[in-house]
Amino acid sequence: MAHTVAVIVGSLRKESFSLKIANAFTKIAAPSLKLEIVTLHGLSFFNQDLEATPPADWVAFREKIQKSDAVLFVTPEYNRSIPGVLKNAIDVGSRPSGKSSFLGKPIGIVGSSPGPLGGVCAAMNLKQILPGYSGPILQQPEIYLNGVGDAFDDKGNLVKEALEKVLKTYIDAFAAWVDRLKK
Ligand SMILES: Cc1cc2nc3c(=O)[nH]c(=O)nc-3n(C[C@H](O)[C@H](O)[C@H](O)COP(=O)(O)O)c2cc1C
């Protein structure tokens, strides 16, 4: 049976490379993974005052994560960390206290950048934030995608063969790991 993976994209940008990478994963992943892209448009800011009557968009976001077998974060780096929208989504998903929607979910982390460092700080930041509120995080292979600026054509198709190989290696390892954990 296929495992459902919520692929959370850490950028709201229309032409986001992170979104294009997430879409590329959907095309190359083995059939044992059903990848569902989750974008963060319209997710309200976390506010503890709203916890008793959570906004509908929080509830919908939490349900998407809860229904998934695993979660894959595909994120850029903003100022050596993760974008605020992604931190907000983690805050929303991590509550109510003790009932994080990420609990028990195997987690994959993919950092990227058009620059040379491949989003490594953002990925490391996620590894610091998530353990208290999630399931296990895939440690190897690590994946930090640099130079993604010329990897896609104007329709958003992945045209950089070397990058496709790296993505395929990662998503196959993630699929095998999720399969082992969720058997
Ligand atoms: C506010 C801001 C901060 C950024 N900080 C970094 C950074 O620390 N490291 C980096 O490699 N790129 C940084 N960038 C460049 C982003 O990697 C680049 O804009 C990328 O395309 C954003 O991801 P997206 O294409 O998925 O929207 C930053 C961009 C913005 C807008």
Q: How far apart are the CA of 28 and the centre of ligand 1, in A?
A: 25
Whole-model pTM? Answer: 0.98
Domain-located, residue 155: yes
For 86-154, the DSSP string reads HHHHHHHHT-STT--TTTT--EEEEEE-SSTTTTHHHHHHHHHHGGGTSS-B--SS--EE--GGGSB-T
Contacts 24+ apart (CB under 8 A), 88-93: 88/40, 88/43, 88/45, 88/46, 89/8, 89/40, 89/43, 89/61, 90/129, 90/130, 90/133, 91/46, 92/43, 92/44, 92/46, 92/58, 92/61, 92/62, 93/61, 93/62, 93/65, 93/133
Residues 75, 11: contact at Cβ < 8 Å? Answer: yes
Supply the range of the domain harboring residue 142. 3-42+68-181
Number of domains in the chain: 1
In a domain, 63, yes or no: no
Within a domain: 165 = yes
Number of other residues whose CB lies within 10 A of the CB of residue 18:
29
* Ligand 1 centre distance from Cα of residue 79 (Å): 7
pLDDT tens over the chain, length 183 residues: 899 999 999 999 999 999 999 999 999 999 999 999 999 999 999 999 999 999 999 999 999 999 999 999 999 999 999 999 999 999 999 999 999 999 999 999 999 999 999 999 999 999 999 999 999 999 999 999 999 999 999 999 999 999 999 999 999 999 999 999 987
Whether residue 54 is contained in a domain is answered as no
| Whole-number pLDDT of residue 118 | 97
Task: Give residue 1's pLDDT.
Answer: 81
Q: What CATH number is attached to the domain comprising 37?
A: 3.40.50.360
> How much distance in Å is there from the Cα of 54 to the middle of ligand 1?
31
CB-based contacts of 80: which residues, under 8 Å, 6+ apart?
Answer: 121, 122
Ligand 1 centroid distance, CA of 86 (Å): 13
Residue 59 domain flag:
no
Mutate to test the pocket of ligand 1, among 20, 41, 113, 163 (most ligand atoms within 8 A of CB): 113
From atom 22 of ligand 1, which residue's Cα is the shortest distance away? 76
What spacing in Å lies between the alpha carbon of 38 and ligand 1's midpoint?
Answer: 19
Burial (Cβ within 10 Å: 0-12, 13-18, ≥19) of residue 45: exposed
Q: Which residues line ligand 1 (CB under 6 A)?
A: 11, 13, 16-18, 76-80, 113-115, 117
Residue with CA nearest ligand 1 atom 1: 78
* 76: in domain: yes
Is 53 part of a structural domain of the chain? no
Residues 115/146, Cβ–Cβ less than 8 Å: yes
Residue 104 lies in a domain: yes
Strand 107-112 vs strand 144-145: parallel, antiparallel, or unpaired?
Answer: parallel
